[in-house]
């Protein structure tokens, strides 16, 4: 019964193998400073410590070896009886077991093969840009009134997006220079003329990423820019000339330059 034996071995070691893929991927991401593509920086240390502990147990599992054969036959029998699909199980159960193995092996493989990436406009479309309120420690209109010109230049997409939610009074934005970096997503209502310079905010991990963005009025932007391209836009906010867009205020860009993906693509 070589097949049963193989399946049995697979069952015994699948946890260690799957754990190895996660641990290897985690440690490599940490070494290359890319763990923040998946989790908030505050969890990086904890995640790495636990990955190293898991690594110790993985290596120890190997060192303890096959574990069957000598006097541990009861273990193997036990695993057989309950895990390996047997005649007692229906075809459906067997199919589910096989599907589960295939899915987890595929994901394990993707962990060590697929190059890490940031979320794309596909997700920001699903999650509707600026749809929810913003976090606790954002700039308020009052704070912004007292800030210096240099401070405005350092404002992120998130800072501006939260100000835009609070005030659509154009005089407030007069003389306040905007300089933001983000990726391009199209405006739902007026995709011809308006796009967003957007970022994702991550509170825990990429799963909870919420898109925020600054609307930019630039007719024909699609000739020069592609979706998901990273850009740096400078200019000032004015009344949005677009009739279709729901945004009252948009950036009137002085310059839109294509840039590389920043080291920290998410805002935290």
* Window 207-246: residues binding other proteins (CB under 8 A): 207-208, 210, 228
Please state the length of the chain.
268
Asked if 259 touches other proteins (CB under 8 A), the answer is no
Q: What residues contact 27, with CB distance under 8 A and at least 6 apart?
A: 48, 51, 52, 55
And the tokens for 116?
């890490």
157 binds other proteins (CB under 8 A): no
Does residue 29 bind other proteins (CB under 8 A)? Answer: yes
* CA-closest candidate to residue 218, choices 242, 198, 236: 242
3-class state of residue 29 by DSSP: helix
100 touching other proteins, by CB under 8 A = yes
- Applying CB under 8 A, among 6, 98, 103, 154 the residue interacting with other proteins is 103
Q: Which of 8, 9, 13, 222 binds other proteins (CB under 8 A)?
A: 13
Give the count of beta carbons closer than 10 Å to the beta carbon of residue 237.
Answer: 24
User: Closer CB to other proteins, residue 153 or residue 207?
Assistant: 207
36 binds other proteins (CB under 8 A): no
What are 205's two structure tokens?
């991990």
Are 215 and 196 spatial neighbours (Cβ–Cβ below 8 Å)?
Answer: yes
How near is the Cβ of 152 to other proteins at its closest, in Å?
Answer: 24
Residues 213, 161 contacting (CB under 8 angstroms):
yes
Among residues 7, 84, 108, 190, which is the contact residue for other proteins, using CB under 8 A? 108
Q: Residues 87, 131, 145, 243: which binds other proteins (CB under 8 A)? A: 131
């Amino acid at each position: 019964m070589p097949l049963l034996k193989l399946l049995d071995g697979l069952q015994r070691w699948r946890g260690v193998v799957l754990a190895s893929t996660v641990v290897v991927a985690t440690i490599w991401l940490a070494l290359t400073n890319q763990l923040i593509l998946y989790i908030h920086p505050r969890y990086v240390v904890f995640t790495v410590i636990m990955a190293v502990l898991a690594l110790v147990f993985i290596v120890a599992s190997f060192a303890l070896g096959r574990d069957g054969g000598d006097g541990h036959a009861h273990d193997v029998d036990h695993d057989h009886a309950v895990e390996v699909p047997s005649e007692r199980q229906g075809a459906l159960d067997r199919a589910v077991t096989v599907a589960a193995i295939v899915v987890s092996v595929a994901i394990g493989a993707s962990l060590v093969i697929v190059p890490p990436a940031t979320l794309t406009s596909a997700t920001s479309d699903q999650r509707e840009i600026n749809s929810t309120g913003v976090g606790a420690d954002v700039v308020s209109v009052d704070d912004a009134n007292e800030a210096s010109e240099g401070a405005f230049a350092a404002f992120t997409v998130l800072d501006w997006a939260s100000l835009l939610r609070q005030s659509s009074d154009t005089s407030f934005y007069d003389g306040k220079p905007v300089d933001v970096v983000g990726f391009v997503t199209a405006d739902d209502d007026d995709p011809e003329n308006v796009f967003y310079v957007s970022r994702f905010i991550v509170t825990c991990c990429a799963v909870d990423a919420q898109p925020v963005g600054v609307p930019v009025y630039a007719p024909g932007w699609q000739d020069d820019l592609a979706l998901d391209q990273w850009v740096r836009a400078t200019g000032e906010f004015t009344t949005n000339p677009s009739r279709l867009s729901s945004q009252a205020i948009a950036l009137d860009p002085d310059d839109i330059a294509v840039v590389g993906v920043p080291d920290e693509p998410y805002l935290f």
